[in-house]
Chains A and B, each alone.
Chain A
């Protein structure tokens, strides 16, 4: 059962990447095993836990539910792509550290991706909107309290930095 390989070209964290992949290779396996971008985690492989979340053309999606070939021609952002150009932590990443918005770190990449997508669309979200935005990401450590605080803090910091 040898599998036909398909050529894909995908922009990952701003860099063009290409490869020859079997049709059933999931996007998360390609990111993790081929590109060694291991910051994206696998939790359930059936689309519920959100640990594998990435941005596809700016929208949060489950990379365990996508085949790599489906991402051909699209832009992918993983947690490794959230830092500032100089490699320092983004406001959002730094805010998670500040409010203790994580413990074991396993769901954290997905939480950051969900929050990044929210803040890009809504720079001043309510607590309810934050909870809704991370409602598809499961965390077993934090009870979500300090994650919500982190997103609130990041939104406030970003707004303050933008206003004169």
Chain B
């Protein structure tokens, strides 16, 4: 393998000093002179007609500047974009005429302070005429269901049945089949910072400046479009630190609202969601999915075919959320050699808070369903779960490997990574410990999952799911400048939410230019000076931004070589580049130093090669390594170039009297190719696992039958803390990607792609001796307790010590 100077070494992150000293700059820290503050009036009904909105009392309250209603707002702005083909499913930040979920914003109050705005918001009187609503996604599919958007004519936003390979035949010929239902609960990444946005309109320049806690592709363009402004009238400042996102910080509706108010009122306006606004009306809830799974397999554990029917509840409106059913197409059979797959996704609307992109973009729920299938095959055949996985893994010699849905996996060595994880956890000892716990009367289990993380893709699920939406371009860029003093500055084109992009770019520039990354500064353009970017989505930045930074740095290096060769009056082949200096091969004393070369570039035109641009800068813009193609008629498509792999092993014990699970040893074998900054990769993987623990055991946006969100605070939406997340050991392995600059793959969603499946596996392993199973996430204490209680009711002998005495392996 290539050896690197800085890539893969432990290095401090460039971002950390400002954060540990309290000197970050988040959107709530942006204070503009004369700034006013927004509070929101939300619908208490899941569905209803707005009869009247009385704003007089609120307008008369102290400090109040304005009260905006949906009537005015919708008349003066355009509906937000929708990705699938459903033009009647319109969406504005404020409801007009009807509300479609409890928590939907109806009016915005602007006042001198947030507190005064909140006081006045309580004085806005809205009269509603409640309408029938639908909360259950399967009920929403029935012909007599209330329609969330009557103009659309149905609650179905998207439905298609893909058949890739001889599925019917495989099911007919297989020695065994099984079917089951699995459910993924509605949860989200729930960053500790809520979404916020501040905007200022300058009538002199006719420019709207925006500062936001944003992680969203095409955000400036969509803001301008909805505000009916030219694209160059919106300037988004990307030098705002984002307090976590992991997919969900897509406050486009908030931004159009605040942008409109700033322009309308002629003062800077800021909206920082409070926690309830965020949880209930922030439109950031994640996939909410039912899977009906069928598997065809032989007696030796070989899987012949899969049928996956997925129903995903996107809530009351749709932005990009239906596309979260599209990404799984690209890894629909997981790391397994499954020759035939049928996939039938349905995206359905209900009267719930809208869904937004969440870490993994629908892949983690699908991985969970596939892994439940593998465990069930093992149980059905009486085989070891690890053996069934090994039996079906794509082998290391089979890459590049094209799966039935048309995606080609770049590289991997699944057997080795799983083997390393098993060795690290000392699997035989873990099994003995599990058996001993069971003999002692405790409920104990081991969880296994082996999952993929597709990364660095384009956005072609858009054209896959809507042929009118022919979007295949998904570029990223970097600009590199060397100033007269010889300092290196990288310019990136998006805000970051903890992924360490400044460290990433500095490391890559240092690597290519052979200069110390600690001396390299990385800054952010604003949206009017930026090169094109699609923001940090889909685990793409190590690949796309890393690749762009390397591309620009290589151009700089080439320029320095050309300058030296010109000055030495020799050809480029006769000189060599080292540490930023260029010398004549075989005569190292004949050398132009970095400083001398920089000075020639900036100040000595007479010594520049003819035709060379003065100054020292380079930009690099590129499309994803596998390009952008249109799907075949059967829906076969390549979207993601790189596939990382993770193998999770986790031990759990359950208190049989309370249903409380306690996680013990946790090992994650991880292969994401070459790691540019290992500490950053490990950190994101740990965090992804913690988030996966939340999705598996604790976190759920629960709705009452009336459509009220019952978990809008951190007292009922439970986020795992340091006492719930166990010690995690990560075991690295490196199978370089042949498609990327340094062999790197994406890793921003690592951990989360396999943790929920592993924990579900562990809980079910612990429950197996009782003859019961749970296939619904989250597996809350209550759900586990109910499963145990149901067994006890059926089989009173399962009481007490009889729960134990089920050794795990013969």
Contacts and interface: CB of A to CB of B under 8 A. Distances in A.
Q: Nearest 6 CB-CB pairs, A to B?
A: A39-B22, A105-B19, A104-B498, A106-B243, A103-B498, A143-B690
A78 B22 CA distance: 9
Interface in B442-456: none
Given A38-B29, A142-B690, A143-B728, 10 more contacts: A1-B61, A41-B192, A46-B715, A103-B499, A103-B684, A104-B193, A104-B241, A105-B19, A139-B687, A148-B722
A158 interface: no
Given A103-B500, A106-B192, A39 B243 contact: no
Given A51-B192, A103-B684, A96 B16 contact: yes
A136 interface: yes
Given A79-B22, A107-B192, A138-B192, A98 B719 contact: no
B24 A44 contact: no
A144 interface: yes
B274 A45 contact: yes
A144 B723 CA distance: 9
Interface string B665-686: 0000000000000011011101
A145 interface: yes
Given A39-B21, A89-B17, A98-B12, A104 B721 contact: no
21 contacts: A37-B22, A42-B28, A44-B713, A45-B275, A51-B193, A80-B22, A83-B21, A102-B16, A103-B680, A104-B498, A105-B20, A107-B192, A109-B22, A140-B190, A140-B191, A140-B244, A140-B246, A140-B687, A141-B244, A141-B498, A144-B721
A100 interface: yes
A138 to B, nearest CB: 5
Nearest to A150: B20
A2 to B, nearest CB: 7
Interface in B5-36: 12-13, 15-26, 28-29, 31
A33 B26 CA distance: 14
B527 interface: no
A87 B25 CA distance: 18
Contacts of B16: 96-97, 100, 102, 105
Given A38-B29, A97-B12, A138 B714 contact: yes
> Which residue of A44, A103, A107, A147 has the most chain B CB atoms within 10 A of its CB atom?
A103
Nearest to B730: A145
A24 interface: yes
A158 B13 CA distance: 23
A156 interface: no
A108 interface: yes
A135 interface: yes
Given A105-B241, A135-B723, A100 B680 contact: yes
Given A38-B28, A44-B713, A140-B191, A103 B687 contact: yes
B725 interface: yes
Contacts of A24: 115
A37 B272 CA distance: 18
Nearest to A25: B115
Contacts of B23: 39
Given A49-B714, A80-B21, A97-B17, A104 B62 contact: no
A8 B62 CA distance: 24
A107 to B, nearest CB: 5
B714 A140 contact: no
A43 B719 CA distance: 13
A143 B725 contact: yes
Contacts of B534: none
Given A48-B715, A96-B16, A104-B191, A36 B31 contact: yes
Nearest to B16: A97
A41 B193 contact: yes
Given A140-B189, A143-B690, A145-B727, A1 B20 contact: no
A39 to B, nearest CB: 2
Interface string A101-133: 011111111001000000000000001001110
Nearest to A39: B22
Contacts of A102: 16, 19-20, 498
Contacts of B119: 1
Nearest to B24: A105
Contacts of A112: 20
B497 interface: yes
Contact of A140 (B192, B194, B715): B192
B691 interface: yes
Interface string B234-264: 0000000111111000000000000000000
Contacts of B728: 143, 145
B284 to A, nearest CB: 13
A130 B721 CA distance: 12
B689 interface: yes
B74 to A, nearest CB: 30
A29 B118 CA distance: 15
B696 to A, nearest CB: 14
Given A100-B13, A100-B683, A135-B723, A46 B20 contact: no
Contact of B683 (A83, A142, A148): A142
A51 B31 CA distance: 20
A72 B183 CA distance: 52
Given A39-B21, A135-B723, A104 B715 contact: no
Interface in B627-669: none
Contact of A89 (B21, B497, B688, B722): B21
Contacts of A38: 22, 25-26, 28-29
B712 to A, nearest CB: 10
Given A24-B115, A79-B22, A141-B244, A105 B498 contact: yes
Contacts of B25: 38
A10 interface: no
A137 interface: yes
Contacts of A144: 686, 690, 721-722, 725
B62 A137 contact: no
Interface string A143-160: 111111000000000000
A41 B21 contact: no
Contacts of A148: 722
A105 B189 CA distance: 16
Contacts of A41: 26, 28, 192-193, 243
A32 B683 CA distance: 29
Contacts of B722: 130-132, 134-135, 137, 144, 147-148
Contacts of A89: 17, 20-21
Contacts of B727: 127, 145
A146 B20 contact: no
Contacts of B21: 39, 79-80, 82-83, 89, 93
B454 to A, nearest CB: 22
B29 A141 contact: no
Contacts of B679: 99-100, 146
B197 to A, nearest CB: 15
Nearest to A88: B21
Contacts of A68: none
A37 B241 CA distance: 16
Nearest to B719: A138
Contact of B192 (A46, A82, A139): A139
B683 A146 contact: yes
B714 A44 contact: yes
A102 B683 CA distance: 8
Contact of B62 (A2, A37, A130, A141): A2
A143 B689 contact: yes
A40 interface: yes
A38 B25 CA distance: 8
A36 B679 CA distance: 32
B167 to A, nearest CB: 39
Contacts of B242: 104
